[in-house]
Structure 1
């Protein structure tokens, strides 16, 4: 549990820093598309910090969207910002999209199965000339390599200026990675795209070979070592850490990748 907390903190910190870098570079004159957003709360964090982009889109399976919408409806801290941006009648169950405001668009789509098909995105009214940030967290690994390549290529070809952030497994060819794959398979969770997660280089190459101009990748242990020491000490103080070797193994098998096009300074 404690290892999961440390990993979660490192991931959130890394993704958050990249998002804020993009927003600062574009002065929030941009749009964000979060594919497989799940129960992510980035929208509310950005609103609290007055960093909302012009458009903010989220996509996930209908069941996940319904669950998230229910949570929003029963929690004033979540529903109030939505209502402030538009009106209470945007929070309607069973609608498509269920939430639509000038800033936020929460849609139910089967992203993992249909992401490679352009028509999935047509209802979003995406502005193709607006700088665009795309986020996928543990999404591409559930697609076949062909499907994820098509999605990455679509993103690179569709927007004049863009950034792509991806968080998922890496170094899956070693023994630790193989055990992870076997454990997931026992739970009927198949990683259809795991062959693209061989190394940091293979992660970068997938982005570069599908239309992106720059690509970077770090494993989560490297990112963890770069975190503010005051925050690391605060989290580590919550529980005594006596499994550093296991933490290192786990963190070395997840990575954060990002790519840019149409603006060499974006995301740096």
Structure 2
């Protein structure tokens, strides 16, 4: 529980920093990769004055279709994303690729049914309905790109980087697979038939930083989940969370938290909030 809480808190802090200057006159955009059943857009669009936010999610068709059914079937969610409807395809013979909603507090939401592996090399031929290339954009990967090959993952970042001049990214992934704890971690994942190809290349925090620097991000920073817990979570909040869980394996938690990283970077304008983190 503590790791999930800390990861979510760290990502929320960075996203809130990005959105800190959001208004109707200064629109911003978030693109969440492999969003799955993430509830973050519901929490964000439940706030007041989201007129300047365009929010995109990308995932497999089966995931996006299920999410649309859930939104339509749950009144609490449909009040946030009302009148969710399928976006008409660009060509009549094509299958629809997205659904969209006009959130009740303003802004725009899109859910794209798309295999991320189709993005690299298709900057000119593949378009995402509603994607703006003229506004500051945050690309979010919460343990998503790590399931692609390094070439595919870099291609996804390049797809957006070549089109959007003012771009930031936040990536959450495991690191340090070669030390004793990391070896056990990788072995446990393999036992469940889970493999993260990028972990073989971006093994240390420095590798993740170099990754974003090479992708063209001018400012790059990082924190492990342990760093986030120690630096960004207040003592009062730590005590509240620990009272819910009753954690007694502190050393094991510290080892696990040191093996997951949040790395973020940005280039261009519109990221004054991130500059303060």
How does the TM-score come out when normalised to structure 1?
0.89
Q: Secondary structure at the match of 1:216?
A: strand
Q: Does 1:11 align with 2:46?
A: no
Equivalent-residue separation in structure 1 for 2:242 and 2:139 (angstroms) = 31
Q: How does 1:192-231 map to 2 (within 5 A)?
A: 192-226=197-231, 227-231=233-237
* Contact 1:39 1:68 (C-alpha < 8 Å) held by counterparts: yes
Aligned to 1:146: 151
**From 221, 238, 243, the counterpart of 1:237:** 243
Q: Deviations over 1:140-164 (max 9, x none)?
A: 1111111112222333332121210
**From 114, 132, 140, the counterpart of 2:137:** 132
**From 253, 257, 264, the counterpart of 2:263:** 257
Q: Does 1:97 align with 2:98?
A: yes
Aligned to 1:114: 118
Equivalent-residue separation in structure 2 for 1:121 and 1:100 (angstroms) = 21
**From 33, 37, 40, the counterpart of 1:39:** 37
Q: Secondary structure at the match of 2:81?
A: helix
Q: Does 1:267 align with 2:274?
A: yes
Aligned residues: 259
Shift of 1:95: 4.9
Aligned to 2:91: none
Q: Call closer, same or farther: CA 1:237–1:163 in 2, change over 3 Å.
A: same
* Contact 2:30 2:138 (C-alpha < 8 Å) held by counterparts: yes
Q: Deviations over 1:113-160 (max 9, x none)?
A: 223243585132322111111101111111111111222233333212
Q: Deviations over 1:225-261 (max 9, x none)?
A: 1212222111100132210011001101111010000
Shift of 1:98: 2.9
Aligned to 1:56: 55
* Contact 1:169 1:255 (C-alpha < 8 Å) held by counterparts: yes
* Contact 1:57 1:124 (C-alpha < 8 Å) held by counterparts: no
* Contact 1:21 1:267 (C-alpha < 8 Å) held by counterparts: yes
Shift of 1:56: 0.9
Aligned to 1:186: 191
Aligned to 2:74: 75
* Contact 2:18 2:272 (C-alpha < 8 Å) held by counterparts: no
Query: Whose helix fraction is larger, Structure 1's or Structure 2's?
Result: 1
Shift of 1:91: 10
Equivalent-residue separation in structure 1 for 2:131 and 2:177 (angstroms) = 35
Q: Call closer, same or farther: CA 1:121–1:133 in 2, change over 3 Å.
A: farther
Q: Call closer, same or farther: CA 1:232–1:96 in 2, change over 3 Å.
A: same
Shift of 1:89: 4.8
Q: Cα RMSD over matched residues?
A: 2.2
Equivalent-residue separation in structure 2 for 1:45 and 1:132 (angstroms) = 19
Q: Secondary structure at the match of 2:20?
A: helix
Q: Deviations over 1:44-102 (max 9, x none)?
A: 1112222634311101011211222222122111111211xxx365599x953133446
- What 5-or-longer segments of structure 1 have no aligned partner? none
Q: Call closer, same or farther: CA 1:192–1:21 in 2, change over 3 Å.
A: same
Q: Secondary structure at the match of 1:158?
A: coil
